[in-house]
Amino acid sequence: MVNQVRRRIINAWCFYDWGNSAFSTTVEAAVLPVYFQKVAAAGLPGNTATVYWGYAAALSLLVSALIAPVLGSIGDYTGAKKRLLAVFAGFGILATALLFLVREGDWPLALGCIVAGSIGFAGAAVFYDSLLPHIARPEEIDYVSSRGYAMGYLGGGLLLAVNIAMVQFLPGTLGPRLSFLSVALWWGAFTVPLLRWVPEPPADSGGLGAGLNPLVAGFRRLGDTFRHLRSYRQLFLFLIAFWLYNDGIGTIIKMATIYGSEIGIGMMDLIGALLVTQFVGIPFSLLFGRLASRIGTKRAIVLGLGWYTLIACAGYFMSEAWHFWVLAFAVGMVQGGTQALSRSLFGVMVPRARSAEFYGFYDVSSKIAGIAGPALFALVGQLTGSSRLSILALIVFFVGGALLLGQVNEQEGIKVAEAENARLATIV
């Protein structure tokens, strides 16, 4: 009976990945970038659509990065991780649904919706990720995190397949606009199991006592964490490494299709290739989880970063549709695995009582990286008149991140987290 309950909790947690990944695939990566350039931003000169898209991505990530740590602190203090997840997911779902209204020339509305939707998506992810250490034992955390990513690839891929059919067979702009609406419904439906079945971790005052205003308590807890950062040296070093290599990963995810569209690859090739990425990612995410158990989580991530370096080099020479298909397959081999293992490696070095707060820092790390990547992509494209050279800039992030990651001592980080768990338990 206990095993059945745990299985149901883990399945419910994974189904949120199944649901919200539709936003990543259809809205952020596949349909909207091309729809934005071909329809919403029709009439804008040169590569202006790509430039605007890059700056909008950077803006949404900046806002998310600024609010994530204090949101995490509030979630830990109030014991409201699930409620805050529901608020931010609802905000993102509403913004996604409003994309249905975007027609030719409506590029300001499209950018407003994608910025709002991305903020909702990122804010909810802080609380979703923070639940991982509470539902998964240390020895299974790599597997559970990888399974979540695999479920995300499957769920996002299935809906993307339906959306491709909509784009291809429905007249005019109806197909893309209905696909955006379907993402909102899909995301909302598969948020329900998590809200219903995953238990809310207990509130933790962190020694501040009860009764404080949640916002005040959130900032005080954040200040306490900053004062103790020296105690989390390995965790902090990992965040810097993650900041570097996730910059490259995030930029490839967000800019691949609009870059492909700029160099003349057709919409159906772009969307179809990204569908391949989704389904390739399912088995490879799970394989990365098993690989981590054999060679270690850190080494498995470094292996993925080496593969990403080769992808960035090949992307510079991309000129034909089949090139994009091959690179999409290659990305699918490592995208989910590197991100899932990064999430779980961070999770084993995080004190459970401060999980949302620390995953807020994790989210900041990924979002700061996301700011630099798309902004650099847009700036280089604006200065040179072509986005091709932007691809090569990603190599430094993969190599630099891998070198820093190699310096992380995860066993020391785990010991510090366990000591902090014990300390906070005596205070509570």
Task: Map tokens 């034909």 to a residue.
Answer: 320
Per-residue pLDDT, 224 = 67
Residue type, 344: S
Q: What's the rounded Cα separation, in Å, for the pair 346 and 351? A: 10
Give the whole-angstrom CA distance, residue 33 versus residue 39.
10
60-63: which pairs have CB atoms within 8 A and are 24 or more residues apart? 60/114, 60/115, 60/116, 60/118, 60/119, 60/122, 61/118, 61/122, 61/367, 61/368, 61/370, 61/371, 61/374, 62/367, 62/371, 63/115, 63/119
- pLDDT for position 11: 94
Asked if residue 329 lies in contact with residue 277, where contact means CB atoms within 8 angstroms, the answer is yes
Do residues 404 and 244 make contact, with C-beta atoms less than 8 angstroms apart? yes
pLDDT in tens, 89-130: 999 999 999 999 999 999 999 999 999 999 999 889 888 988
Q: What was the pLDDT predicted at 215?
A: 62
Question: 302 and 354 in contact (C-beta within 8 Å)?
Answer: no
pLDDT at residue 219 in the model: 64
The answer to whether 222 and 354 are in contact (CB under 8 A) is no
CB neighbours of 423 closer than 8 A, spacing ≥ 6? none
Whole-structure pTM value? 0.74
Tokens of 133: 């250490």
Q: Which of 323, 305, 328, 315 is nearest to 248 (CA)?
A: 305
- Of 358, 351, 361, 359, the C-alpha closest to 414 is 351
**CA distances (Å), 159 to each of 154, 336, 397, 400, 414, in order?**
9, 18, 32, 35, 38
Tens digits of residue pLDDT in 5-35? 888 999 999 999 999 999 988 998 778 988 9
CB 292 within 8 A of CB 171: no
Q: In the chain, which residues have pLDDT < 70?
A: 1-2, 203-230, 253-255, 257-258, 353, 356-357, 360-361, 363-371, 373-374, 381, 386-388, 423-428
The pLDDT, as a whole number, for residue 233 is 85
Write down the pLDDT at residue 50: 78
CATH topology of domain 2-427: Growth Hormone; Chain: A; (1.20.1250)
